[in-house]
């Protein structure tokens, strides 16, 4: 697609579920200072990993980059969907996007299906800029997310591995996203995070860039050109450990229901699709 190629050319020439035990809307009031406008990729950044999701409609995402996490046990959040490895729930749309689609259907003893795709055991990264250009789904009980888990989750468990929620969204609140950190002693509803509201059209009306810029002891969360939340060890509750200085892997998913969003209702339209135009990882260019 011409528009996608222009975006990539600009990026290169100079112009980041959600929770295992999710946020319950707790905002850290001491983080309410406005953030500066960030540098854009290309101004001191270089791409080190990416997926542009080009390919025929119905093609599964690259097995070299993504694995489907399959199951329907609630994922620790009381989610309603069974996440599958089927193209019906996670596949390329033939127009340069990954489509993660939540459907109302009986499957695996659940009343809904969706997909949860991750780079676990394929790609993990510490530091840099991790971003995705996404058009969100919408509706009560719809919970899309773009997030990261510590690559050592299988050995140290959650939340000791660290969780970085770059973006999660309640489908019934069309202009608000949340970014959060979950670690030992500050997870679930006691996470360290921030909600951010936008003006104008609902987020689902168009694609937006969701990103985190990550350096030692600092995470900066961004929607399009706006930094709305910055976290350092000083933001953690007293005596709690910063667990974000080691590699994390990337996750994209759409949950249905759960403690963060509540259940869908009779007005929730299915299917609901999150379209991902790209996922890109950058490092600071050598000076």
In contact, 176 and 170? CB cutoff 8 Å: yes
Dihedral over alpha carbons 21, 22, 28, 29 (to 10 degrees): -150
Give the H or E element holding residue 228: strand 226-231
Choose, from 168, 195, 230, 283, the residue flagged as catalytic: 168
Taking CB atoms within 8 Å and a gap of at least 24, the contacts of 8-11 are: 8/52, 8/278, 10/42, 11/41, 11/42, 11/47, 11/280
Residues in the chain: 287
In contact, 103 and 270? CB cutoff 8 Å: yes
Question: What b-and-e string marks burial along 185-210, b requiring 16 or more CB atoms within 10 Å of the CB?
Answer: ebbbeebbbbbbebeeeebbeebbbb
Peptide bond into 97 cis (omega under 30): no
Choose, from 163, 195, 215, 283, the residue flagged as catalytic: 163
The two three-digit tokens of residue 140, written as one number: 């009560």
Give the H or E element holding residue 4: helix 2-13
95 catalytic residue (yes or no) = no
d(CA 120, CA 139): 29
283 catalytic residue (yes or no) = no
What are the C-alpha distances in Å from 155 to residues 79, 82, 150, 226? 25, 25, 10, 36
The two three-digit tokens of residue 233, written as one number: 């060890």
Vertex 241: Cα angle to 143 and 128 (nearest 5): 60
DSSP 270: S
Instruction: Return the active site residues.
Output: 163, 168
């Amino acid at each position: 697609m011409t528009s996608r190629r222009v975006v990539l050319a600009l990026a290169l020439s100079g112009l980041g579920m959600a929770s295992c035990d999710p946020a319950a809307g707790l905002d850290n009031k001491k983080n309410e200072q406005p953030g500066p406008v960030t540098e854009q990729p290309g101004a001191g950044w270089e791409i080190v990993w990416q997926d542009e999701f080009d390919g025929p409609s119905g093609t599964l995402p690259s097995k070299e980059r993504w694995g489907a996490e399959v199951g329907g046990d609630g994922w620790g959040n009381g989610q309603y969907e069974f996440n599958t490895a089927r193209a019906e729930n996670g596949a390329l749309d033939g127009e340069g996007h990954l489509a993660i689609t939540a459907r109302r259907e009986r499957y695996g003893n659940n009343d809904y299906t969706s997909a949860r795709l991750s780079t676990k055991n394929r790609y993990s990264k510490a530091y840099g800029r991790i971003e995705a250009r996404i058009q969100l789904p919408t509706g009560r009980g719809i919970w899309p997310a773009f997030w990261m888990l510590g690559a050592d989750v299988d050995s140290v468990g959650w939340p000791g591995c660290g969780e970085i929620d770059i973006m999660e969204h309640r489908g019934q609140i069309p202009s608000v996203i949340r970014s959060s950190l979950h670690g030992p002693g500050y997870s679930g509803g006691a996470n360290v995070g921030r909600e951010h509201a936008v003006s104008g059209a609902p987020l689902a009306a168009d694609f937006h860039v969701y990103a985190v810029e990550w350096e030692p002891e600092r995470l900066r969360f961004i929607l399009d050109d706006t930094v709305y939340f910055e976290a350092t060890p000083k933001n953690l509750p007293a005596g709690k450990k910063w667990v974000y200085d080691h590699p994390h892997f990337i996750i994209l998913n759409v949950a249905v229901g759960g403690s963060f969003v509540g259940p869908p209702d009779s007005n929730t339209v299915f299917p609901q699709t999150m379209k991902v135009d790209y996922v890109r990882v950058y490092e600071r260019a050598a000076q």
